[in-house]
Amino acid sequence: MKIATMVAHMLARVTGLTQIVLGLVIWIFDPDAVIPVHIAVGLALVLSLWTLAFLAAAAGVSRGLVILAVFWGFLAPALGLTQGQLLVGDAHWVIQVVHLLVGLGAIGLAGTLAARIKRATGPALQEATK
């Protein structure tokens, strides 16, 4: 569980940083060719978040936090894939900022889950290795 958590957390961090950079490129320069890459990397971020949620559930982490992470994993792409139709016009930047905040929330949730898994499994792993 320790290695799976570390890999999923690292994947969430790398894909999260990549998403921020790609999102800024899309926001500033508006290159349509980058959008499919942003969507694919976002999927990897969501899958790593869900992996951490699964591992957290197995480690006995708070059920509420696990459910929040699963819900957030649905929210981020749903918002991202529909944002073009939301608040079209001068106020569209509001949706873009909300999408950024939801993405940052996914990255933060991944980190929180990884820390909680480590805390929940730490003593058990120490006992098992004695």
Range 118-122 contact pairs with CB under 8 angstroms and sequence separation of 24 or more: 118/2, 118/5, 120/56, 120/59, 120/60, 120/61, 121/1, 121/2, 121/5, 121/59
**pTM recorded for the entire structure:** 0.91
> Smallest Cα–Cα separation from 20: which of 46, 38, 44?
38
CA atoms of 128 and 106, how far apart (whole Å): 32
CA atoms of 126 and 129, how far apart (whole Å): 5
Give 65 or 84, the one with higher predicted confidence: 65
Q: What pLDDT shows up at residue 1?
A: 87
Q: Among 22-26, 91-95, 125-129, which is the least confidently predicted range? A: 125-129
In tens, the pLDDT along 80-122 reads 999 989 989 999 999 999 999 999 999 999 999 999 999 998 7
CA atoms of 115 and 102, how far apart (whole Å): 20
pLDDT band at 11 (very low <50, low <70, confident <90, very high): very high
Tokens 């730490």: give the residue: 122
